[in-house]
Amino acid sequence: MKNSFCLLLSLSLTAGVFGCAKNEDSSATSPIPSMVTIAKGALPSSLESSSVGFTVDSNLTTLKERLFSPGPTDFMYRLKMVDERLASLADAIVECQDASTSTYTPPDVATGFNFPMQFSCKQIVDSSSQGVSDFKVYFGHSGGYWYVAELQTNADFENSDAEPPTMGVLSKISEAGDEMEVYQISVEKKSGVYYSTVTQIKANKTTGVFELATSSSADSTQTISPGANFSGVGCGVSMKTDGTYVYANGSFSQAASCPSTSTICANAGDLSDATGSCTSLTTLSTLTLDRSAVSGNNAKSLVVDRSWVSAL
């Protein structure tokens, strides 16, 4: 049942805005598999390794620096922070895992977005000392998958304050720990307009396939915070790797006027040029994202207004 379990949890976020203080009272281990482990199991280490040079072109350099290197747009860092928070909520998650779920459908933050979720429980996190006015974690277990949504709102969001970022992370994780689909969604307001960045991640450790798509509705002149909506590839980029090759296609820029699309094909081992070898990777299962595909208004509805989960 939708309201079968709901606990209030007050945490001291000593590890930072996205971090989570350890729950010293937790005696359980979270049954939700680590998203970082799944991602790393399908992702070539060369994309994250600083020892691998940039041997193809500037577009691959941009992709690696913006999305696969430490910094505010590093998606792996955000996955790690959600993993840590779920570990701290282990007792609550174990208590919830057999509760019946209901379907909650988030607003369409991008063209083609369709990501119904199954929730039975939520946790309220007190992080007001960090400038976050509303922080909740929703979760449920159904059909062999765990569904998790982590939503946080900046206390001064409507006044265009982007730090800490107002954002959500929506995840569908197999209970076997072999595959996942994740959306990272940020939203901010500038000059009365809502802007958003959407990043979709799909990973399968069994097949060794990793896919990512990202875009921003804001350009480099419209963003407030580099960590919120300035991904550096906001014009829209998609990538796919099977562990042998890395394929990417899109407009590798955040400029107000997006350049023409470009294509990358590289060896996964050392990122050297492999033009002509990526034919099998050109069919993507991620969204086709560009600036026009992302809805800042719907992102605001998903992360801030939250009417889609108001019944829980």
Would strands 209-216 and 193-204 be described as parallel, antiparallel, or unpaired?
antiparallel
- Amino acid 156: pLDDT: 86
Whole-angstrom distance, CA of residue 267 vs CA of residue 244 = 6
Residue-wise burial string across 263-293, b where 16 or more C-beta atoms lie within 10 A, e elsewhere: ebbbbbeebeebeeebeebeebebbebbbeb
Q: Give mean pLDDT, residues 182-204.
A: 92
- Helix or strand holding residue 117 (H, E): strand 117-119
Residue 24 predicted with pLDDT over 50: no
Q: Choose between 97 and 163: higher pLDDT.
A: 97
Domain boundaries, the chain: 5-19+38-306
pLDDT digits (tens, 9 = 90+) for 112-150: 999 999 999 999 988 888 888 899 999 999 999 999 999
Whole-angstrom distance, CA of residue 130 vs CA of residue 125 = 11
Q: Give mean pLDDT, residues 142-161.
A: 91
Q: Are 86 and 149 in contact (CB under 8 A)?
A: no
Whole-angstrom distance, CA of residue 92 vs CA of residue 99 = 11
DSSP per residue, 37-49: HHHHHHS-GGGT-
Would strands 5-9 and 121-125 be described as parallel, antiparallel, or unpaired?
parallel
Q: Are 55 and 202 in contact (CB under 8 A)?
A: no
pLDDT band at 88 (very low <50, low <70, confident <90, very high): very high
pLDDT digits (tens, 9 = 90+) for 65-78: 778 876 666 888 89
Structure-block tokens of residue 270: 């050392």
pLDDT band at 200 (very low <50, low <70, confident <90, very high): very high
Name the least confident of 5-14, 79-88, 266-275, 278-287. 5-14
Percent of the chain residues past pLDDT 70, beyond the cut:
82
- Amino acid 57: pLDDT: 67
Whole-angstrom distance, CA of residue 185 vs CA of residue 220 = 18
If phi > 0 it is left, if psi is from -120 to 50 it is alpha, else beta; for residue 208 that is left
pLDDT band at 1 (very low <50, low <70, confident <90, very high): very low
